[in-house]
Amino acid sequence: MMRKRSMVTQEELVNVHHSFVMKHISDSDGDGLVVTGTFVQYVFCSNEDLIESENNKNEEEEDGSDIKGVHFEYRFNDTSAEDEKYFVQYQGVEIQEHTDMGKLFKHSYYIKIPLALDVKLDCFPFRVISASLLVELTTFTTDDKKLRVRPDLMVHKRDKTNMFSIQPDLWREDSRSPMQQANDIMDQSENYDLVSPFPRVSYIYNSQKNYCPKFRVQFLMVQNGTKKLLEILVPMVLIAALNTFHVMGGEVTDIPDYTGNSANFALSVLIFLPTISSGTGHIQTLWRASNMYIITIILALALSSVPYEWVGFNHIASAGMILYWVSFLFPIINCLRYVRFVRHAKFHKAGAGMHFWASDDYSDSRNDPYDETQYDAKSSFVKVSEIVNDSDEQGLQLKAMDFRIRTVNKSQILEFASMEEIKARLIEEVMPLHIQKSDEEVMFI
């Protein structure tokens, strides 16, 4: 259901509170991941002409849709939601006629959407990826081409679960921590494991047009390397041992037999190289740890294949043999890097992230679910643009949520976090994992 766009002179910002109830993350075709959940648009509109225009437009839709009232279509990861790879099922609308922010239209959607994957730490046999979903509420124009309508996202002043939440299993009594319970609910993937079930959430603020139409949900996931250790490194150790016997007996081996054995070792190693170098992310670079490991192995086998009878000494082949054994330092160091990163990430992300855990058992002053049946809505929400442009006043309203504002590349960044999280983000700059942030993001941790 595409809306026509045209050049207009009048614009109106419509207040939108968006809720995302996350169900789980599971595997898709290949090595992909999909997130399943529920989207809810709370659209507050006081323009009666716009409401009437949208009602008439929805009644005339030819696709049989039954979307009533003002609503905004989606774009996921900068791609139209009508792409066949996205599943978005409209569930219906609830209308609250009177609030202090205008008429409220509550639109619900069931979604199942592929996540965008980007490799952040590729250290064989382990791999850490960023699995993210960028959601944009799209601007539209009215049928009379007189008004352009933009969505302006709001955030709840006290309770993060009104924006993003993970709900506990209601049919199971569980005494474990919220982190463990949320991990069991969210992680339905066999290929990856969640570093933390609680996502990093960013609101992207357009400073030129002074409104916020986008947000991003980002998870960190790891591909456990234990299986690769058994399937790849054990055979590689066997090849290293055979290559050692091969080089040490090179003085009494004929050239054809020596080169034949060297070729067999090289072919055996080539079988494992694609698995070692898999998962390069968006930016291709030669000087990655996995590529350096491969180059070291190939160079070691090349040196080991030089026959004694060609050069009259065995030093070159011996150097290759030693280099092959030295190459195992790569996976050992990578394992240490991986363990250090995972411990750091889990330790620093657990506390603040648990504010996404929607459970009465989690006692917290932030537990303040929004009641859409109440007239008073202004006391519950604040625009992202207002927070960024007037931090002192809004800081008093956001008394239950720690935050800071900073400037990056002439853009204002608003970050909601505990002080431990703010310190942790500074530490990340020297960690193997570096998460890129867009120029204009409001960060919920």
**Per-residue CA distances from 153 to 6, 11, 373, 427, 442 (Å):** 23, 16, 20, 30, 11
Asked whether residue 239 falls in the same domain as residue 381, the answer is no
**How many domains, the chain?**
2
Of the candidates 278, 310, 327, which is a domain's last residue?
A: 327
State the residue range of the domain holding 320. Answer: 226-327
Q: What angle do CA 175, 177, 181 make, to 5 degrees?
A: 85
Give CA–CA dist 427/336, Å, rounded: 17
Residues 53 and 95 in one domain: yes
Within a domain: residue 121? no
Residue 291 confidence class, pLDDT cut points 50, 70, 90: confident
Say yes or no: 35 and 183 in one domain. Answer: yes
On whether both 63 and 162 belong to a single domain, the answer is: yes
Q: Using CA of residue 12, residue 13, residue 15, residue 16, what is the dihedral sign?
A: positive
Q: Is residue 53 part of a domain?
A: yes
What residues have CB less than 8 Å from 133, skipping those under 6 apart? Answer: 35, 76, 77, 113, 115, 116, 216, 217, 218
Residues 55 and 109 in one domain: yes
Report yes or no on 239 lying in a domain.
yes
Kind of pairing between the strands at 33-45 and 103-114: antiparallel
Same domain, 289 and 238: yes
pLDDT at 366 over 70: no
* Token pair recorded at residue 214: 């986008």
Given a cut of 60, is residue 5 above it in pLDDT?
no
Condensed to tens digits (0 to 9), the pLDDT of residues 255-276 reads: 666 677 677 777 777 777 776 7
Same structural domain for residues 305 and 193? no
**Distance (Å, whole) CA 205 – CA 405:** 13
Is residue 32 in some structural domain?
yes
Looking at the fold, whether 94 and 239 belong to one and the same domain comes out as no
- Which pLDDT tens digit goes with each residue over 168-185? 776 677 677 777 788 888
Greatest mean pLDDT range, 90-94, 217-221, 392-396, 431-435: 90-94
pLDDT value for 442: 46
Same domain, 175 and 249: no
What is this structure's pTM? Answer: 0.76
The residues pairing with 222 across neighbouring beta strands, listed in sequence order, are 128, 193
**Interatomic CA distance for residues 391 and 379, integer angstroms:** 17
* Amino acid (1-letter code) at residue 52: E
Is 263 a member of any domain? yes
Quick one: 21 and 150 in the same domain? Answer: yes
Residue 3 near residue 73 (C-beta atoms within 8 A): yes
How does residue 367 score in pLDDT terms, banded at 50, 70 and 90?
low
Q: Residues for the chain: how many in total? A: 445
- The residue whose two tokens read 């932030």 is 366
Q: What is the 3-state secondary structure (H, E, C) of the chain?
A: CCCCCCCCCEEEEEEEEEEEEEEEEEECCCCCEEEEEEEEEEEEECCHHHHHHHHHHHHCCCCCCCCCCCCCCEEECCEECCCCCCEEEEEEEEEECCCECEEEEEEEEEEEEECEEEEEEEECCEEEEEEEEEEEECCEECCCCCEEEEEEEEEECCCHHHCEEECCCCCCCCCCCHHHHHHHHHEECCCCEECCCCCEEEEEEECCCCEEEEEEEEEEEEECCHHHHHHHHHHHHHHHHHHHHHHHCHHHCCHHHHHHHHHHHHHHHHCCHHHHCCCCCCCCCCCCHHHHHHHHHHHHHHHHCCCHHHHCCCHHHHHHHHHHHHCCHHHHHHHHHHHHHHHHHHHHHHHHHHHHECCCCCCCCCCCCCCCCCCCCCCCEEEHHHHHHCHHHHHHHCCCCCEEEEEECCEEEEEECCHHHHHHHHHHCCCCCCCCCCCCCEEEC
Same domain for 78 and 94: yes
Instruction: Give the model's pLDDT for residue 19.
Output: 92
Task: Give yes or no for residue 371 having a pLDDT over 90.
Answer: no
Residue 91 placed within a domain: yes
Q: What CATH number did the domain enclosing 98 receive?
A: 2.70.170
Question: Do 307 and 180 have their domain in common?
Answer: no
